[in-house]
Structure 1
C-alpha cells in the first residue's frame, strides 16, 4: 500500500500558510505543494530574490515577505505585517555552521533555528487560527540543552553539538507549547516534524570539507527534497495528534512516507522545557499570550 503523499493533502482553499525559509529546499517544496492544493502561501525569506523566483513558479497564490530569523527586529517587523494565518510552518534553519552570532548576539544555530522561531511564534500566536508546525531533526538526539550557556559564550564551540542543541530545542518548544495551549483551553495545535535524510542545500553551508562529503551523501543515500518535505506537509494538513512528532517511517526514520516518529528522552523532559521557555522569553523579549 502506498504511503501518504502530496496528492493526499486536503483542499487548502481559503487557507493561508506561512512557510519560513521557503526560498529553497524543503520550504520551497512545501510552499509549492500547499499552493497546489489551493492555499495562499506567504514565503517568509531572508533572501527575497530567491523567494520571488519560487513565488513566480507558484503564481498568484504566493507572496514573498522578508524575514531574517537571525535579527529580532526583522522578526518583529514581519509579524506586525501579518493580519491572520491558519498555519505557521517554522521550516527555516542552518546546520553545522562555523561559530558566528546573530544580530542580537545569539549563537547562530540556536538563534536562527530556535530563538528566531520562538519569537516569531509568540508574536503571531494570536493571529494563528489552527497550527504551528516546527521542523526538527533526528540530530536532536545528539543535542543537550545548556541553560547556563545556551549561546556558547563559555563553552568551546562545537558545530554539531550546537546543531543538535538547536534541534532538541525545537522539540522541547513544540511539546511545551502544546502543553500551554491545552492548559489555556485553546484548540490550536503545536506539531513537530523532521525530514529524515533529505538532499537539500542545508548541507552545503558548513564551510568545511563536510560540504563535499555531504554532497556525495546526498547523491548516494539521501531521499529527495520532495520526499523530505512530506512530514511537515503531513503535520500541517493531515489529522494529527496535538503535540505529535512526524517523520519518515522507513530505514530507521531516514526515508519514506510520513508517520509518527520517536524522539529522545531529553526531548520529553518537562523541567528542561520550562527552563528553556523562560530563558527564551528573557532572551527574545517575547512573551506568549494564550488568551487569544
Structure 2
C-alpha cells in the first residue's frame, strides 16, 4: 500500500509559499511539488542564475528573489519584498563546512541554518497566514546547544557537531514558536520535517575525504530528493498535519513516505528553548514578538 505523496497535496490555487534554498535538492523538489499543485512559489535563493535554471523545470508559477541567509542585511531586504504568504518553508542550509563566519560574524552553520531563518521568520510572521515549516535532520540527535558558545569561539570546532547543533536549534525553535503562537491565540502552525537520508547537493560540500564516503552512500542507499522532500510537503500542506508536528520518512527515519516522528529529549527542553530564543533575538537584532491573528 502506498504512502502519502505529491498526489495527495490539496489544490493550492491562490496560495503563495516561500521556499528558501530552492536552487537544488530538497528545496527544488519542494518548490516543484507546491507549484505543480497550483501555488505561487517564491524561490528565495542566493544564486539567481541557478534559481532561473530550476524554475524552467517547474510546471507552475514561480518568482525568484535574492536571499542570502548568511547576511542579515539580505534577510531584511528580502523580507521587505514580501506582502503576504500562506506558508514559509525554511529549507536552505549548509552542512559540515569548514570553520568560517557569516557576514555578521556568526559561525557559518549556526548563522545560516538557524539564525538566518530565525530572523526571516520573525520579520515575516505577521505576513504568514498559515504555516511555518523548518527543515531539521536526524543528526539533531547528536546535537548539543551551548548557549555560552553558540558560535564555536571557545570550543574545538567540529563540522558535524556544529551542523547537529543547528538542526537541534531548528527543532527547538519550531516547538517554542508553536508554544508562543498558541499562547497568543494564533491559529498559525509551526512544524518541522526531515528528509531522512536523501541524496542532495548539501551532502557534497564538506570539502574533505568524507565527501567520497557520502557520495558512495548517495549512489547506493540514499533516497532521491523528491522522496526526501515529501515530509516537508506534508508539513506544509496536509490538512491532518498537527501543531508542532515533526515529520520524516516512515522506514527507521531513513527512507519512505512521511509519517509523524519523534525527536530527542533535548529538543523539548522548554527552558533552553526560551533562552535560545532570547539569544537569537539579541544576535540578530530581530524583536520576535508573536501577535494574535
Q: TM-score range by the shorter chain?
A: over 0.9
Q: Deviations over 1:98-124 (max 9, x none)?
A: 001000000011111100000000000
TM value normalised by structure 2: 0.98
CA distance in 2, matches of 1:57, 1:226: 14
Offset at residue 55 of structure 1 (A): 1.3
Q: Aligned residue for 2:226?
A: 226
Q: Deviations over 1:231-272 (max 9, x none)?
A: 00000000211011000011x110000010111000010011
Within 5 Å, give how 1:107-146 maps onto structure 2: 107-146=107-146
Q: Aligned residue for 1:47?
A: 47
CA distance in 1, matches of 2:211, 2:10: 37
CA contact (8 A) 2:32 2:59 kept: no
Q: Aligned residue for 1:13?
A: 13
TM value normalised by structure 1: 0.98
User: Secondary structure of 2:63's partner?
Assistant: strand
Q: Aligned residue for 2:262?
A: 262
Q: Aligned residue for 1:247?
A: 248
1:103 has 2:103 as partner: yes
Q: Deviations over 1:176-203 (max 9, x none)?
A: 0000000000000000000000000011
CA distance in 2, matches of 1:183, 1:103: 34
User: Secondary structure of 2:88's partner?
Assistant: strand
User: Secondary structure of 1:57's partner?
Assistant: coil
Unpaired runs of at least 5, structure 1: none
Unpaired runs of at least 5, structure 2: none
Q: Aligned residue for 2:184?
A: 184
User: Secondary structure of 2:38's partner?
Assistant: coil
Q: Which consecutive segments of 4 or more residues in structure 1 shift more than 4 A?
A: none
Q: Aligned residue for 1:62?
A: 62
User: Secondary structure of 1:92's partner?
Assistant: coil
CA distance in 2, matches of 1:59, 1:105: 39
